[in-house]
Each structure stands twice: as structure tokens, then as C-alpha cells.
Amino acid sequence: MSRAWNFSAGPAALPEAVLKRAQAEMLDWNGTGASVMELSHRGKHFMQLAAATEQRLRQLLAIPSNYKVLFLQGGATQHFAQIPMNLAPEGGSADYIVTGVFSKKAVSEAAFHVDARVAATSESTNFLTLPPRAGWQLNPDASYVHYTPNETIRGLEFHEIPDVGEVPLVADMSSNILGAPLDVSRFGLIYAGAQKNIGPSGLVLMIVRDDLLARPPRPIARILRYAEQAANDSMLNTPNTWGWYLAGLTFEWIEREGGLAAMGERNARKSAMVYEAIDGSDGFYRNDVERAARSRMNVSFVLHDAALDSVFLAESEAAGFIGLKGHKAVGGMRASLYNAVSQPAVDALVQFMRDFAARHG
Ligand SMILES: Cc1ncc(COP(=O)(O)O)c(C=O)c1O
């Protein structure tokens, strides 16, 4: 049995070393005679694992001491709704920068709990561009500004952290967290579903500044309050212990591979190679995203003749590739190049794309 070249957008490829380690430890983790999944989250073994995993992440991202790290559930989507409940008072307002399907979803879920204003949007370009910062209509009294640094569907990425003044910046980093070094101190709150660059789905990582946790609570259930989760080490109820464990293995792997600087360099190189294959194809492949906003994590492309889409997918699958079909909202193809997608996988993809174009061009 051989592993596929996996370019899925999420759930996505995990480092082979992480999977092998989990496999080796499945029946007897840490001398406990049980897998992590079978042990109490309150037991000393898991408590140690939880603390060590948080510490590893703190080191990787150089997270300042005035931020808490939470290991939550519900997917990023649940937090689209939960963030306004926690950060904005009743009747308060928040600004949203809408650059794709996920930020649009974020604003529509938030609207149940806050006056969610669209301060800038690039919908008129079909989310192929980023709205220039100069045109953002920010409200200085907003409870926070929310944006999506990497829109997974089109593959549209902010390459700089926008300056929004004193209002806390909230970022949905589901598809680019740990893909490159990051200055956490620029953010009020960062959150990410784990199933792309961290581990399995069902785990949400959150990094949140203390002053935001100290905002007066709304009358919402304790289980929905981030401050309660922080005060209880994310164990207000049973956490996703398996996801937490795999996240820890991934953090360890990133550390061993050279940390976030190494990830950033690799991802820049990998994405540049795929964009080069697209741009150098004489129009056989096309990526319409504004150059300066092309994503390093998700590279989308269309074929010059949509009738070839199914042929591309069938041939690529036969050649051992999976996950190349674009999101149904935009069609075409998409290659997601998360940390675990190796250079040999990208070399193989670029070679396949060139061969396919030569055969069908
Ligand atoms: C940027 C971004 N935000 C949010 C989501 C939704 O995540 P979940 O399915 O974990 O709720 C995704 C999923 O692909 C995503 O890419």
C-alpha cells in the first residue's frame, strides 16, 4: 500500500512521521497500556500531555504571556457565532472584512449576536482581490475587527497584518496557522480549526489576549464563555483528547523540521513552483487571483477548457493524486500545500501538470 499525493483542502494531509508515531503508540501510549483516546482527560498522563502541548505551541509562535491558549471544539464555524457573544456587549457592533466564502459566513453567523458591519468587501471582484486598506470603513467604537488572513476556497491571502489601530484584531487562521512565522502580539484573538495545518477535525485552537477575556460577560451559558474555558484549562467538559494529542505531535514535528521559519520558506517555495507551472503554461492553466494576494497555502486554477476538468481529475487520481478538485462554489482545481505536503509531492504535481498540458494542449 502506498500513500497518495494528498492536496486536500481540509481535512488534509498530516505529516507521515506524526501518523506513524500515533500508530506506534496506539495500543500503549506512554507506558499506560492504553491509547490516548482511552484515558481520562483528568488523569496525570493526559494533564501532562495537555500542558506540554500548550508549551510547545507557545514556543513555536513565541506567544506573549498575556495571551491564553485554548483547545476547543465546534469547528471554526461555531466560533463565528461564539466570538461576538464573548467579545461584544449586547447591542454592540463589530467590523468585518469580507474577502471570501468563509469571512462571509463569519459575518452572517455573527449577525445573530452583534451589529456585524461589513467594513470592506471584495465581493464585486468575485473575491479575486483584497479590498485596499485605505478604503476600509472602520468604526473606532467597534468591539473588534474580524478578518480571514487566508481564504481557503479561492486561495486569497493577506501577506501583511492589517493595521486597525486600537480595536482588537480577530483572525480566522484555519487555513494558514503555523504556515509561517507570526507576530501574535498584533492580534486580540486568533482561532483555527485544526484540520488543515494542525491535526484532525473536531479541535479548534484559540489564542486570546487576557483583556478580551476580562470583558464583562453576557448572559450566555458557561460552556460558551472563553473566560471560563481559560480558567479551566479548556476542560470545562471533556475535550477532544485525541485531537489535542495529535496537535502536540504535529507541533513537535514542526519544531524538529526547523520551526515556523522553515515552514514559511518551504511553503513559499512550494507555492511559487505551482504558480510557475500555471503561469508558464501558455494559458492552458489560469489563476485569476490578484498577484499580490495569491495564497501560499491554497493554489486554485482552472483549465482553459472546462471540458477537460473531469479528464484532469481522472488522470490525476490514476497517477496517485487526491484532493485536487476545486471547491464546488468556484469549480476548477485547487492544490492545498499545507505544511505536511512535502516537496516531492509538489514536484510530482508540477510534473503531472506539465505532462497533462503537453498531452491535451
Ligand atoms: C478559513 C476557514 N474558516 C472556516 C472554516 C470552517 O471550518 P469548520 O468546518 O471547522 O467549521 C474553514 C473550513 O474549511 C476555513 O477554511
What pLDDT is attached to residue 130? 98
Residue bearing the CA closest to ligand 1, atom 9? 75
Residue bearing the CA closest to ligand 1, atom 7? 76
Cα(173) to centroid(ligand 1), Å: 9
Cα(26) to centroid(ligand 1), Å: 28
What pLDDT is attached to residue 361? 87
Cα(62) to centroid(ligand 1), Å: 24
Residue bearing the CA closest to ligand 1, atom 2? 174
Ligand 1 binding pocket, CB closer than 6 Å: 10, 75-77, 102, 148, 152, 172, 174-175, 193
Phi, psi (deg, nearest 5) at residue 27? -90, -20
Cα(109) to centroid(ligand 1), Å: 13
Domains of the chain, first to last: 16-256 (3.40.640.10), 259-360 (3.90.1150.10)
Neighbours of 28 (CB within 10 A): 11
**pLDDT of the chain along its 361 residues, tens only?**
689 999 999 999 999 999 999 999 999 999 999 999 999 999 999 999 999 999 999 999 999 999 999 999 999 999 999 999 999 999 999 999 999 999 999 999 999 999 999 999 999 999 999 999 999 999 999 999 999 999 999 999 999 999 999 999 999 999 999 999 999 999 999 999 999 999 999 999 999 999 999 999 899 999 999 999 999 999 999 999 999 999 999 999 999 999 999 999 999 999 999 999 999 999 999 999 999 999 999 999 999 999 999 999 999 999 999 999 999 989 999 999 999 999 999 999 999 999 999 999 8
> Angle 259-279/343-360 helices, nearest 10 degrees?
0
**3-class SS letters over 33-99:** CCCHHHCCCCCHHHHHHHHHHHHHHHHHHCCCCCEEEEEECCHHHHHHHHHHHHHCCCCCEEEEEEC
Cα separation, 120 vs 130, in Å, equals: 9
Residue bearing the CA closest to ligand 1, atom 5? 76
What pLDDT is attached to residue 2? 86
Q: Which residues contact 4 (CB under 8 A, 6 or more apart)?
A: 320, 321, 322
Cα(244) to centroid(ligand 1), Å: 18
Cα(44) to centroid(ligand 1), Å: 32
Burial (CB count <10 Å: 0-12, 13-18, 19+), residue 40: exposed
The strand pairing partners of 335, in sequence order, are 299
**Which ligand 1 atom lies nearest to the CA of residue 75?**
10
119: nearest Cα among 359, 110, 128: 110
Residue bearing the CA closest to ligand 1, atom 14? 10
Cell numbers that stand for 310 in this block: 473531469
